[in-house]
Each structure stands twice: as structure tokens, then as C-alpha cells.
Amino acid sequence: MDGKNAVKVKSQHGASYENSSNTITQLATNTNKQEPITFVLVHGAWADASFWDNAAAELRKQGHTVHAPEYAGHGSLYNPAVKHEDIVKSIVDYITSKKLTNIALVGHSFGGTVIQKVAEQVPDRINRLVFFDAFVPLDGQSLSDQLPTELQKVFGQLAQQSGNGTIKLPFAVFRDGFVNTASESIAKSIYNKAKPEPGAPLVQKLDLKKFYSLNIPKSYLFLTSDIVTPQGDKYGFHPAQSSHLGQFRLILGEGDHMTTAFEQPGYLAQKLYEAARK
């Protein structure tokens, strides 16, 4: 450990940081134990609440309380005609019925748009919002508005082709775009579990005036190989989507959009903790 050697360092420079190295090093040792946090985890599209199973188990091992509620239209509540407000209601109802407070509210991908609207309704129950490779529409925008026009068109065509407004991604698109760092067999396994995603919530324009007036602290966790949106200043999850938040805590990690939650849940749990802690 680098930190340990720091104890022996004698400062040559007057009082200001004089004992700070020692103190800080001791603090580092003491704080290996994580402060317990109440997490509410909101999954994204082409997923259901079991997306969080592995990461939630790792967080619980560290002493955290973890809620990963299913929401309308997904998983056991599957419904192609679900609307964005139904999804938000699912999470708000879960939080209020369980009387949860001091929450770290985490949204992955599409879940970013959900926690924006949840925060508008129960702001006092939330300690920090964590956007994890998540969309952060500006006021009046939809998730779809965050994407390049060509991608918006592809999604629109897929929704029309399905006959019920849902979008099933071709495997080649999912494999290289959502699970690019996975082996082929794991990519297929994740793909085969994904139900066609209800399309309407992805194109709904969201009134986010209140969200952008809230003073809740925010973090953005970006896994650097995530290429669901084209990387770079214009469309990248970070810095394009993240920059909509104004001031936020940046936590970077390695991984792509979906593989990490399944294959490296301990690593993801650590990053979620770093994003969520005070």
C-alpha cells in the first residue's frame, strides 16, 4: 500500500498540511469499512429487475440495504403498452409504501430518465442520485432525443415492424453495442433473456423543469467501454449526457453497458458505492 509509507513522511513545510498525511492515511485504513447506504436500483431497457441480482448481492455483503424493484411493463409486469409515467409510479409507490428515506437512487441507461422523474416526486427521500451509463434528457426531451438521428430512425422502424410498438434489437447490434467486452456465449445468454422493449417510454418527451430546479447531489458513473451511444462530446454518456447534470461527482470504471453487472458485480458494487457515498 502506498498509503502506509506516507506515515513516515516528515513535512518540511510549516504548519498547514503538517500532519495531514498521517491523518489521511489513518483515515484510509479506518474507512475500508463502508458506511451503510440504502440503495434503490432502477434498471434500464432490455432488462428487468434481475439485472441487479449479482451487484445487489455484492452490495449486501458490504452491509448495504438494496432495493431493486420491478417496474411497470418489464419482467413479471411485462406490458408492451406501458407508458413512462407508469414506470415512474412503480418506483415512487415502492419507495413511499416502504417509507424509504436517505436513499441513493441509481438509474442505469433508460433508468436515468426514470430517476429524474422519481426525484421530482420524492426529493426529500433521496440523498444522492446516481446516473450509471444513463440518459439524462434536458427539459422537454425524450431518451430518443439523446441519440443521433440515424439511430432514432432505426428504433422507430423496429418499433413499427413489431406490430405492438416494442423494439427487438438484432443480435449483431446488441452484441457489439451493449455487451462488446463479453464472450459470444455470454453475449447470447444476456441477449436471449431480453424481452422486446416497450417503445413508447423511449420517445416520450419529459417535463423536467422541476428536476432541473432540485438541489439533490448527483453522481455519474461511466464505464469507459460503453458504446450504446456514440462516444465523444456530442452523444457520449460521458461527457455529453453527464454534462446535463451541471455539477456532479464523476466515477469512472472499466466495462461496457451490460456485461459488467453480470460478470463483475463486485467491481460494479464498489463503483456504485463510490458514486453513492457522502
Verify binding: residue 153, a copy of itself, rule CB under 8 A. Answer: no
Find the binder of a copy of itself among 180, 197, 208, 244 (CB under 8 A).
Answer: 180
Find the binder of a copy of itself among 39, 45, 58, 90 (CB under 8 A).
Answer: 58
Contacts (CB under 8 A) with a copy of itself, residues 219-278: 219, 224-225, 227, 230-234, 236, 238-239, 243, 247-252, 254, 256, 262-267, 274, 277-278
Q: Which is nearer to a copy of itself, 149 or 185 (CB)?
A: 185
Strands 197-198 and 166-167: antiparallel
Binding segment for a copy of itself (CB under 8 A), chosen from 41-49, 93-101, 107-115, 196-204, is 41-49
Q: Which is nearer to a copy of itself, 133 or 206 (CB)?
A: 133
Q: Which is nearer to a copy of itself, 165 or 217 (CB)?
A: 217
Shortest distance, position 174 Cβ to a copy of itself, whole Å: 11
Site string for a copy of itself, 81-120 (x = CB under 8 A): ----------------------------------------
Distance of CA 57 to the CA centre of its chain: 17
List beta partners, residue 126. Answer: 103
Binding segment for a copy of itself (CB under 8 A), chosen from 5-13, 81-89, 98-106, 108-116, is 5-13
> Among candidates 129, 107, 62, which has minimal Cα distance to 270?
62
Verify binding: residue 51, a copy of itself, rule CB under 8 A. Answer: yes
CA 2 → CA 19, 25, 29, 133, 252, distances in Å? 17, 9, 12, 31, 21
Shortest distance, position 205 Cβ to a copy of itself, whole Å: 26
Shortest distance, position 169 Cβ to a copy of itself, whole Å: 12
Dihedral angle computed from the Cα positions of residues 208, 209, 210 and 216, in that order, rounded to the nearest 10 degrees: 80
Verify binding: residue 124, a copy of itself, rule CB under 8 A. Answer: no
Handedness of CA 152, 158, 164, 169 (dihedral sign): negative
List beta partners, residue 104. Answer: 39, 128
Shortest distance, position 64 Cβ to a copy of itself, whole Å: 15
CA 42 → CA 31, 68, 105, 112, 247, distances in Å? 27, 6, 8, 8, 22
Q: What are residue 84's phi and psi, to 5 degrees?
A: -60, -40
Residues 6+ apart with CB under 8 A from 147: 155, 229, 235
Strands 103-108 and 38-42: parallel
Q: Which is nearer to a copy of itself, 210 or 235 (CB)?
A: 235
Find the binder of a copy of itself among 98, 193, 209, 213 (CB under 8 A).
Answer: 193
CB-CB neighbours of 65 under 10 Å:
14
Distance between CA atoms of residues 158 and 154, nearest Å: 6
Q: Which is nearer to a copy of itself, 62 or 121 (CB)?
A: 62
Q: Cell numbers at residue 238, please?
A: 460521458
Find the binder of a copy of itself among 189, 209, 212, 213 (CB under 8 A).
Answer: 189
Verify binding: residue 197, a copy of itself, rule CB under 8 A. Answer: no
